[in-house]
Amino acid sequence: MIEELGTNDQGDMIINVGPQHPSTHGVLHLVITLHGETVKKVEPHLGYIHRSIEKMSESLSYRQFSYVTSRMDYLSSHINNHACALTVEKGLQIEIPGRAQYIRVILDELTRIASHQLWWGALAMDLGAFTPFFYSFREREMINEIMEETCGARLTMNYIVPGGVMFDIHPDFQKKVKHFLKEFKSKIHEYNELVTGNVIFQNRTKGVGYISKENAISYGMTGPSGRGSGFICDVRKLHPYEMYNQLQFDEITEEGGDAFARYMVRIREMEQSMNIIEQLIDNIPEGDFLAKTKAVLKLPKGDYYTRVETARGEFGVYIISEGGTTPYRIKYRSPGFSNLSALNDMSVGGKLGDLMATMGTLDLVIPDIDR
Amino acid sequence: MFSLEKLVSIIQAWLQSTLGDPWAFIVVCILVGLAAITLFAILGLMLVYMERKVAAHMQIRLGPNRVGPMGIFQTTADTLKLVMKEGLTPDGADKFLFNLAPFMVMIAAMLILAPIAFAKNFQIWDISIGVLYVAAVSSVAVIGILMAGWSSNNKYSLIGAMRSAAQIVSYELSAGLSILAIVILSGSLRISDIINSQADGWWIIKGHIPVIIAFIIFIIAVTAETNRAPFDLAEAESELTAGFHTEYSGMKFALFFLAEYINIFIGCAIGATIFLGGWMPFHIGNWEAFNHIMDFIPSSLWFIGKTVFLIFLIMWFRWTFPRLRVDQLLNLEWKYLLPISMVNLLVITLMAIMGWYL
């Protein structure tokens, strides 16, 4: 373990990155063995923000338990709520109104764009450029305003409930979303000019944090991080939920397996998400936004599993029900945990600066790893 | 017309007549010292304010705007806060070196002020080896940084200091070679001679492409020598939290912080002096009327204007580019900049011998 003097018997330096550190974006603690500037070993230590959400959910009703999932991956809280609602609906076999489905998918994709925007700014900051952070927040603010108007919250939405969505959309919703799409199309070009095309940025990310497709699969890397290694794992395509099977969009994969490939996957995914929203925004059907459900939900005895594609990868909800009003056991499969497990493999042999680039492109959200 | 030269000569003549020979000299020395320290403090405050405003402008925000009109007293308030803070010394630190380090960095920065010509005939010390003196003294700062990194007994500090040492020592070569290019063209190491050689045109204009290459290399080297982004590896806060000054607090931290800005000023002042003509006004060939109007602008304004322009360039770099990795940084110097500046120096020598400049 960590020696007193901070060096091991080979004379390597052992440094603690975190739990409070600018580039871990939360309370992640990495124990890094450094040989000069070269990383020899990375050991993530978890548990600093463990809130036992899974255990807590066992005493919450089927309407309540999804509220805590907003606090897991707070950047795609909407999609987490979605997964919980889908699981309950699966158990109760509730038909969801078409209007609710459209709203859910549009907001899912908006959440994905917002999450990728924040990641883009944070990655640039990890690599030492401060300005992109402000640019990304400028556009993210537009999404946050839409969310605030629709859900009443900017970060922890809690908008999706079993049976549909909690309220109807705001009358300005379509207008604002279209305005955002129009604005963001030109801004994404600006993003590419400012960061993607930059020689220093490309040097910092190309060939850095490489992981092969086989390793990515065996570590269970999903989402943009897995797709950066060519692993076809988009749940929206493979196991379509809601109405993703009726939509025209591409699953973005890159073959590079390095930080730049993962970066490009996310940039191109933002464009695909805009594409999806464009298909839906004008066709939101009239009708109910919430199906009629019983006051107290009771899932029939059995176990239920649903997975969705969050901004970080595959998010799974596994519920075992004994037929009561609360779940007997809940297990979440969070994408960040599996993605983090590959960090050691990806960064050994690289420089200390490469570790930050690798961590940045894994897009870690610590409360998602430590539930 | 107002001129610093006249002001100084009046003061000096008055002191000479009232105090007599040895005492007048001592008083002048003290006055110069006080002026340098004041300049130091004002420059630090102004540049930090400028940096924050430039950064704010590039990042679509307003920047400091609460303390005083347009927030101009923000940096003063920050400095007061830092003065009042406790300067902690960590338990495991080498206390003597730890407390000495910020002063080393500061004194090194201060010493380089001596040969800089702020205006026409307004210079603390017009030493005959001016440029060499600047190159030599500026490398002393790295000792202070190494001392800070080593004595802090912190691994982040140590890594930061080692990076900084490697970086400053490497980039000094490029900076030195590009200064040498102008020394060859002007034929003197003395700062005033270099400025006077640009009376009929700044070197960047009459030196053609080789001097422009030398200028670009010089600006890159100065950015690296002052540990500024994209070469801020010594501080790299996403990797090393705060690099070599992680353990410093209060005024000791402020000294490092101010020294960084003074070093930027000095680097840019040297750049403005040797490439952009220092206080020399902008002249175009035979346009008598135009040249006369240009002469009317005080020489101190010319110098400050050119320096601030270069400082703005360096700030622009910082708020645009990501940071290089440590091996890429050294590759850039040893594999690209150094060979280019060596070849460039040969070309310039040829130019100087053949007289291929205006």
Q: Is B55–A135 a contact, with Cβ atoms under 8 angstroms apart?
A: no
B-interface mutation test, from A21, A35, A364, most B Cβ less than 10 A away: A21
* Residue where the block lists tokens 């007549």: B17
Which residues fall within 8 angstroms of residue B311, CB to CB, at 6 or more apart?
A: B47, B50, B264, B265, B268
Each residue's pLDDT tens digit, B28-57: 888 888 888 888 888 888 888 888 898 898
Could you tell me the pLDDT band of residue B281, with boundaries at 50, 70 and 90? confident
Name which of B59, B319, B325 is nearest A354 (Cβ-Cβ): B325
Chain B interface with A: residues with Cβ < 8 Å: 55, 58-61, 155-156, 159, 163, 229-230, 232-233, 236-239, 241, 319-328
Mind telling me how many Å the CA of B155 is from chain A's nearest CA?
7
Residue B328: closest C-alpha in chain A? A203
Mind telling me how many Å the CA of A45 is from chain B's nearest CA?
18
Each residue's pLDDT tens digit, A326-344: 889 899 988 888 888 888 8
CB proximity A356 to B under 8 Å: yes
CB proximity A195 to B under 8 Å: yes
Name which of B241, B319, B320 is nearest A22 (Cβ-Cβ): B241
pLDDT for the residue numbered A1 = 40
Each residue's pLDDT tens digit, A244-300: 888 888 888 888 888 899 999 999 898 888 889 988 888 888 888 888 888 888 888
Q: Is B238–A126 a contact, with Cβ atoms under 8 angstroms apart?
A: yes
Mind telling me how many Å the CA of B315 is from chain A's nearest CA?
12
Size of interface A-B (CB pairs under 8 A): 85
CA angle B237, A189, A79 (to 5 degrees): 75
How many CA atoms does the CB half-sphere of B147 hold within 13 Å? 17
pLDDT for the residue numbered A2 = 43
Could you tell me the pLDDT band of residue B181, with boundaries at 50, 70 and 90? confident
- Over 80: is that where the pLDDT of A210 sits? yes
**Burial of residue A245 (number of CB atoms within 10 Å: 0-12, 13-18, 19+):** exposed
Residue B59: closest C-alpha in chain A? A131
DSSP state of A307: E
Each residue's pLDDT tens digit, A102-139: 888 998 899 999 999 999 988 888 888 888 888 888 88
CB proximity A37 to B under 8 Å: yes
> CA-to-CA distance for B186 and B64, rounded, in angstroms?
43
CB proximity A21 to B under 8 Å: yes
Q: Is B159–A129 a contact, with Cβ atoms under 8 angstroms apart?
A: no
Name which of A21, A23, A131 is nearest B59 (Cβ-Cβ): A131
Q: Is B232–A13 a contact, with Cβ atoms under 8 angstroms apart?
A: no
> CA-to-CA distance for A12 and A5, rounded, in angstroms?
11
Maximum CA pair distance of chain B? Answer: 68
pLDDT for the residue numbered A152 = 86
pLDDT exceeding 90 applies to what percent of chain A? 4
Taking alpha carbons only, the member of A319, A153, A256, A15 closest to residue B241 is A15
Mean pLDDT is lowest, of A26-30, B58-62, B288-292, B318-322, for B288-292
Q: Over the range B183-203, which residues count as b (16 or more CB within 10 Å of their CB) and which as e?
A: bebbebbbbbbbbebbeebbb
Each residue's pLDDT tens digit, A250-264: 888 888 888 899 999
CB proximity A130 to B under 8 Å: yes
Name which of A34, A128, A351 is nearest B238 (Cβ-Cβ): A128
Contacts of A127 in chain B (CB under 8 A): 238, 322-323
pLDDT for the residue numbered A318 = 92
Where do the structural domains in chain A lie, given as residue ranges? 13-369
Q: Is A353–B325 a contact, with Cβ atoms under 8 angstroms apart?
A: yes
Q: A13-369: which CATH number, 3.30.750.80, 3.40.50.300, 1.10.645.10, 1.10.1040.10?
A: 1.10.645.10
Q: What is the ipTM of this complex?
A: 0.81
> CA-to-CA distance for A59 and A57, rounded, in angstroms?
5
Contacts of B320 in chain A (CB under 8 A): 129, 131, 194
Contacts of B149 in chain A (CB under 8 A): none
Q: Is A200–B237 a contact, with Cβ atoms under 8 angstroms apart?
A: no
- Over 60: is that where the pLDDT of B1 sits? no
Q: Is B324–A203 a contact, with Cβ atoms under 8 angstroms apart?
A: yes
Cα distances (Å, whole numbers) of residue A177 to A107, A148, A280: 10, 13, 11
